Amino acid sequence: MLSAPVGEGHVAAARALATRMRALWPEARVREVEHTGRGGPWRDALLKGSYAVTMRVAPRAYGFGYDLLVRQPRLAELFKELAAGRFGRALEPLLMAEQPDLVVSTYPMISGGLAWLRRHERLPAHTVAVVTDVAVHPFWVWPDLDETWTLLPASQEQARSVAPGADIRVVPAAVDPIFRPGDQAGARTATGLRADAFVVLVSGGSLGFGGIERLVDAVAAAGTDVQVVALCGRNERLRTRLQARDLPPERLVVQGWTDRIPELIAAADVVLTTAGGMIATETLAVGRPVLFAAPVPGHGRAGAEMMAAAGLALLCPRPSDVTAAIRRLCHDPAELAALGRRAAEFGRRDLDAELAALSDRI
């Protein structure tokens, strides 16, 4: 099970799949590797650091690069070929030592390395690339691999446009089994949140990016019956700034890095995110509605638009749209319930059944 610590989503998906595999296949040995191979520590630190800096300092530059590669497939193929060889050579010693029957990747560059090894007849194992975002960037799809897993029919079509001959499947989201529908009142008691409030959980991903401060203000502006829970992830500066807000805990709860995300999602009425990715699919697995607020350029914006088109989320391009949407959902339980039903339908899809079918294909 291969992933890379560039953000937390890739690793979280890999861990979720490994957890389910161990339960389903008790006689199998499942090894999780959270780096990109030989020389991994420095490469992973560089990837993680450059991504974090870009998203905080120049998110539009990231979005421009993302969109450019989507619109220019020949350019994308050139960069893919350059990256695949480097990652493939780095991964080869690990795979030679392990001699696995199945290799699953949740990080696109690693998937590219596996594809390079397959093309050079150095990877006999069955290989699966798991796309953790709804929007499928060209770097996610490698036709040399045995399978590519996507989240929605629209995602599948995107992937097929990149690699028409590849085996592209629509598979339930790779989320941990602890993300499941639960008792909202009990979750609020356990997390100390108001029983009488409309609770909005706000997340900017593990790095806390995407203008979270403005969005917290926009949610709070929806009314005194709204309680905001701001997830700051590993962004300590954001946590410090939000704690300095002149709002009591009845209105604003500021949360740093925590392992209580499943409880907090279950306690919320809606989850508002700028990043998409894992927090969105985890929210749907719990059966809670998702709001995308001023989504970050690149994969965040593309995924938000696709999820909104599928009826799984609301898209709020501006902070004023956030305030209006929260007010509307507060006073329109029918719309809130409809969003919740669609979320629950998405979350009920059976990932364990897909893994059982995968075992028959190996």
Structural domain ending residue among the three candidates 143, 171, 199: 171
Tokens of 359: 């075992």
Q: What is the pLDDT of residue 74?
A: 83
The domain boundary residue, chosen from 171, 205, 229: 171
Number of domains observed in the structure of the chain: 2
Beta-ladder partners of 273:
203, 292
Q: Same domain for 134 and 257?
A: no
Question: Do 325 and 203 fall within a single domain?
Answer: yes
Strand, coil or helix: 272: strand
pLDDT in the model for residue 44: 62
Asked if residue 356 belongs to a domain, the reply is no
Same structural domain, 41 and 160: yes
- Averaged over successive runs of 10 residues, the pLDDT of the chain (362 residues) comes to 84 94 96 77 61 57 68 83 92 95 96 96 96 91 97 95 94 92 95 97 72 91 96 86 89 91 96 83 92 78 89 92 96 93 90 95 92
Q: Examine the domain organization and report whether 56 and 199 are in the same domain.
A: no
- Give whole-number Cα distances, 107 to 9, 32, 76, in Å: 9, 13, 17
In a domain, 361, yes or no: no
Q: 104 and 220 in one domain?
A: no
Angle (nearest 5°) at CA 265 between 246 and 17: 135
Residue 233 and residue 334 in one domain = yes
Q: Which pairing describes strands 168-170 and 147-150: parallel, antiparallel, or unpaired?
A: parallel
- If we measure between CA atoms, which residue out of 48, 49, 66 comes closest to residue 9? 48
pLDDT of residue 207: 62
- CATH of residue 342's domain is 3.40.50.2000
The pLDDT of residue 40 is: 56
Query: pLDDT at position 13, please?
Result: 93
Closest C-alpha to 7, from 267, 214, 215, 210 = 210
Task: State whether 141 and 218 are in the same domain.
Answer: no
Predicted model pTM = 0.85
Radius of gyration, alpha carbons of the chain: 20
Q: Residue 161 domain-assigned?
A: yes
Buried/exposed code over 199-234 (b: 16+ C-beta within 10 A; e: otherwise): bbbbbbbbbbbbebeebbbbbbebeeebbbbbbbbe
Residues 131 and 35 in one domain: yes
Pairing relation of β-strands 270-273 and 290-293?
parallel
- Domain hosting residue 226, numbered range: 184-347
Q: Does residue 115 sit in the same domain as residue 50?
A: yes
